[in-house]
C-alpha cells in the first residue's frame, strides 16, 4: 500500500517547509525536546553535521532518536571533490533505523528530510511511505524547492507547517491519540 491510496484526512503526516536560510535541524531538535519534555515518545531521525571538510562543507550524519547512534551519510572525499557525496551504505543504514523506529510505534515519528533522493524515488522513500501507511503522526522536513515532489508522493496537496517548534508541537497534539499527553510549558 502507498501514500496515494489515502485521503488527506487519513494521512497523519505533515511537511515542515524550510529554505536554505533556516537551520531546520535546530527547529526539529527543539520540537523533539519540547515533545519529550511533555512525556511524548518520539522516534525517528534528525540530521546532524560534524567536522568541517575540505572545500567548506561539513560531514553529514543522522541521529537515531531511539538509540542515539549517529550514522554518517556522506563519503569522505578529497579537497577537490564536488557534487553529491552521499554514501549508499550510510543511507541504507539510516533507512533501516527509520524502519525500526516505525516498528516501535512511537507517539510521533520525526524524519530529517524528504530530499532529492526521496523525490527521485530513492533514499528513504519506501520508509516514508511505510510511515504514512502506518498512520503514525509523522513530521518531515521538506525544502520549499521539493514541494511539488512532496505532493506527488502524497498523491495530493499535503498539510504544511511553518518551521516553528510551537506549530509542530501543536500539530502533534492534534494527532497523538492521547492529546492531553502534550502540554506546552512555555
- Decide if 136 contacts 109 (C-beta within 8 A): yes
The count of C-alpha atoms lying within 13 angstroms of the C-alpha of 174, restricted to the half-sphere facing its C-beta, is: 12
Give the tens place of pLDDT for each residue, 126-153. Answer: 999 999 898 899 999 999 999 999 999 9
The pLDDT > 70 percentage for the chain reads 83
Which residues pair with residue 160 across a beta bridge?
A: 15
pLDDT band at 157 (very low <50, low <70, confident <90, very high): confident
Give the tens place of pLDDT for each residue, 88-103. Answer: 899 999 999 999 999 9
**Residue given cell 488527506 in the structure block:** 8
Rounded to whole angstroms, the Cα distance separating 57 from 131 reads: 31
pTM confidence score = 0.85
Amino acid at each position: 500500500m502507498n501514500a496515494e491510496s489515502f485521503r488527506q484526512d487519513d494521512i497523519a503526516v505533515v511537511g515542515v517547509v524550510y529554505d536554505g536560510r533556516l537551520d531546520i535541524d535546530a527547529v526539529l531538535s527543539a520540537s523533539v525536546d519540547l515533545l519529550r519534555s511533555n512525556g511524548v515518545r518520539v522516534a525517528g531521525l534528525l540530521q546532524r553535521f560534524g567536522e568541517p571538510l575540505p572545500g567548506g562543507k561539513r560531514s553529514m550524519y543522522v541521529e537515531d532518536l531511539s538509540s542515539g547512534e549517529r550514522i554518517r551519510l556522506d563519503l569522505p572525499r578529497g579537497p577537490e571533490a564536488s557534487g553529491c557525496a552521499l554514501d549508499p551504505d550510510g543511507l541504507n543504514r539510516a533507512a533501516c533505523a527509520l524502519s525500526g523506529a516505525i516498528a516501535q510505534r512511537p507517539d510521533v515519528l520525526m524524519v530529517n528530510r524528504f530530499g532529492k533522493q526521496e523525490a527521485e524515488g530513492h533514499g528513504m522513500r519506501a520508509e516514508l511511505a511505510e510511515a504514512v501507511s502506518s498512520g503514525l503522526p509523522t513530521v518531515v522536513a521538506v525544502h520549499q524547492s521539493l514541494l511539488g515532489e512532496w505532493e506527488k508522493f502524497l498523491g495530493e496537496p499535503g498539510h504544511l507547517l511553518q518551521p516553528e517548534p510551537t506549530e509542530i508541537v501543536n500539530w502533534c497534539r492534534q494527532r497523538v491519540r492521547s492529546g492531553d499527553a502534550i502540554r506546552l510549558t512555555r
